[in-house]
Each structure stands twice: as structure tokens, then as C-alpha cells.
Amino acid sequence: MPTTTRENVLPIEGSGRVLERYDRRIGTILAEDGKLAPADVERVMELQQTTGLRFGEAALRLGLITDDDVRCAVAKQYDLPHLVPGNESISRELVVAYDPFHPRAEELRGLRTQLSMRWSRAEVDHRMLAVVSPGCGEGRSYVAANLAVVFSQLGERTLLIDADLRSPRQHRIFNVPDRIGLTAVLSGRADASAVVPVREFGRLSLLPAGAPPPNPQELLSRPALGAFVREMWSEFEVILFDTPPAKFYADAMNVAFRAGSSVMLARKDHTRLADTTGLVRELSDSGVRVVGTVLNVF
Ligand SMILES: Nc1ncnc2c1ncn2[C@@H]1O[C@H](COP(=O)(O)OP(=O)(O)OP(=O)(O)O)[C@@H](O)[C@H]1O
Ligand SMILES: [Mg+2]
């Protein structure tokens, strides 16, 4: 198997920032992936010697690989499960999977770290979190989906539950069927087999919302939710919930109460400060800890 003989430095462009990753194995990874034949690796190394270019840059200049090939190779090197563009069955919104070194992906990993630190300080055995915000379109589903992926990338057995029974969309983000989901579990028509492993991320599973019910709030306040979550603790270390907008539906508070912890989102130039402070107060009055806050800028 061909290998590179000198240390390579790979720049990754993202929003004007250039990150440098030192990499001895990029050539090996590209060759193992069938992106470069042994003769190609030789050509790249010759060009490197004459120009001083980095391995990825040299291979790009020779037209042997694409930017996406380089990104995927770097992601593999850092053990970040990733998706190849072109695999359009899974939404491109999963920036942490498609582009793990994008600044937004770095921010989401920062949020994971913030949460992990606060969780451990509070000595919580099982980590469970509802992603909440007051209004519509503030990014709850986006953040919940990407957070679930970054926890699974850390090796945590992670379950994402789509508890937005009003406007569910996690099944579309992860491209899994949503015929049977949380509503069937809560109404006693399905059991834990409704949880779907997401093949692309070994440690991540999703419980989609399922068929829309006539009585979401009543369903979510049933003891069945707590019983189901307790059952899930034998299989998962982290459980995340997507929720509907808390300002409009009490469902969100029900779910946050069950989770015990929440991450609070506000969308820049969109969410009203009074709504944010009101929701924080309501959460703490109900004994729900706000373990993380996100100002979502998009
Ligand atoms: N940080 C972000 N960067 C880029 N796009 C984002 C970001 N956050 C959210 N979006 C996009 O904004 C749109 C709305 O986000 P999302 O569906 O996650 O919001 P929501 O709060 O779940 O909305 P709803 O009230 O419909 O449940 C989506 O197209 C999503 O991809
Ligand atoms: Mg949503």
C-alpha cells in the first residue's frame, strides 16, 4: 500500500478561516478509498518535491481528487464518521457529518463539550436533553439532529426522539420511515422496535414522531413517555428530544420536564428577548435545568 513519506499539512477553507491539520496518512487514506492509484501517489509526491505543495493541494492541482475527497479523507483521519456528498438520501443540513471541519460543525462540537461539562458537574447518570426555543423556524430540528450526530461521533450510544408531533421532520433529515414512531409508542401500539438505527452513524438511533395524532399534548403527558425513556436507558447513554415551539404548544414543556434538562435556542434577529426570558423562567419554575444556550445565527 503506498504511503506518503513526508509530513503533509492540509489547509481546510471554511468561512475565510484556514485550519491546518498535520497529516502523515492522507495519501494512504485516499489510496485505500480507491481515490488514488499507486502511480497517482507517486506523481503527487513528485509534484510535492518540486513545488513544496502539501499532499492534498498537489493531488488537487493534478486533478486527481476533488475537495470533497480531501475533506472525507481528513474526517476519516480524525475518526469522524462522515457522509460523502452525493449520498443525498441524508439531508445536507447535517453539517457535522458532511463537512466536519466547517466552522458551524466546530461550534456544534463546542456545544457538545459545554453540555458534557455541565452534565458531569451535575453528576447526572443518564444524559437527557430537550432542545427548546420559543418560536417557529429557530433551528431546533437542525441543532437537535447535528447534536445527535456529534454525540454519536464521540462514541456515545445516542437516541434522538422527534417529540415535535406538530411539525416533525427528523425522519426527513435522516431519511427513515415515519409510519411508526413516538405516537404509536405512547398510545401502546408499538414498542422499542419503533426505534430505527441510522445505518450511516453506527451509534445513533432515531425514534421518528410517527403518524400525526389528534391529541399531541395529552399523549406527551402520559406516563408512557417516562416508562419508555427508562426502558431506553439500558441501550443509550444520551437521549435528545426535538420539540415544537414552546410559545405555541405546551408539548415542549411536557417533554422538557420529562428530560429534566434543556438546551435553549434563540435565533438572531428573530427570537424576541422577552420570549426567551419568559421560556427560561418557565423552564426553571418547572425544575428543568437549562444546561446550554445557543444563539443560532443563520
Ligand atoms: N445554524 C444554522 N445554519 C444554517 N441553517 C440553519 C441553521 N439553523 C437552522 N437552519 C435552517 O433553518 C431552517 C429552519 O430550521 P429548523 O427546521 O431546524 O427550525 P425549527 O425551530 O425546528 O422549526 P419548526 O418550528 O418548523 O420546528 C431549516 O431549513 C434549517 O436547515
Ligand atoms: Mg422543528
What is the distance in A from the centroid of ligand 2 to the CA of 192?
23
| pLDDT tens track for 216-257 | 999 999 999 999 999 999 899 999 999 999 999 999 999 999
Contacts of the segment 8-15: beta carbons below 8 A, 24+ positions apart: 8/48, 8/54, 8/55, 8/56, 9/54, 10/54, 10/55, 10/56, 10/57, 10/70, 10/74, 11/54, 11/56, 11/57, 12/70, 12/71, 12/74, 12/101, 14/99, 14/101, 14/102, 14/103, 15/102, 15/103
pTM over the 0.85 mark? no
Q: Which ligand is nearest to the CA of 169?
A: 2
Distance CA 70, CA 90 (A): 20
Distance CA 209, CA 187 (A): 12
End-to-end CA distance of the chain: 44
What is the distance in A from the centroid of ligand 1 to the CA of 140?
6
What is the distance in A from the centroid of ligand 1 to the CA of 298?
9
| pLDDT tens track for 139-172 | 999 999 999 999 998 888 999 999 999 999 999 9
90, pLDDT greater than 80: yes
Indicate which residue's Cα is closest to atom 10 of ligand 1.
Answer: 139
What is the distance in A from the centroid of ligand 1 to the CA of 137?
5
Verify whether ligand 1 is closer than 6 Å to residue 164 (CB atom). Answer: yes
C-alpha Rg value of the chain to the nearest Å: 22
Handedness of CA 221, 224, 227, 233 (dihedral sign): negative
Q: What is the pLDDT of residue 57?
A: 85
- Ligand 1, residue 267: give the atom nearest the CA: 8
Verify whether ligand 1 is closer than 6 Å to residue 111 (CB atom). Answer: no
What is the distance in A from the centroid of ligand 1 to the CA of 169?
10
Indicate which residue's Cα is closest to atom 25 of ligand 1.
Answer: 136
Indicate which residue's Cα is closest to atom 11 of ligand 1.
Answer: 139
Distance CA 222, CA 276 (A): 27
3-state class (DSSP) for residue 153: helix
Distance CA 233, CA 141 (A): 23
- In this structure, of 94-108, 119-133, 248-262, the range with the lowest mean pLDDT score is 119-133
What is the distance in A from the centroid of ligand 1 to the CA of 265?
11
122, pLDDT greater than 70: no
Verify whether ligand 1 is closer than 6 Å to residue 135 (CB atom). Answer: no
- Ligand 1, residue 166: give the atom nearest the CA: 27
Verify whether ligand 1 is closer than 6 Å to residue 187 (CB atom). Answer: no
Indicate which residue's Cα is closest to atom 15 of ligand 1.
Answer: 139
Distance CA 282, CA 293 (A): 15
Q: What is the pLDDT of residue 68?
A: 75
pLDDT band at 20 (very low <50, low <70, confident <90, very high): very low
- Ligand 1, residue 297: give the atom nearest the CA: 1
pLDDT band at 4 (very low <50, low <70, confident <90, very high): very low
Distance CA 241, CA 221 (A): 15
21 or 150: which leads in pLDDT: 150
Do residues 54 and 22 make contact, with C-beta atoms less than 8 angstroms apart? no
Q: Which ligand is nearest to the CA of 294?
A: 1
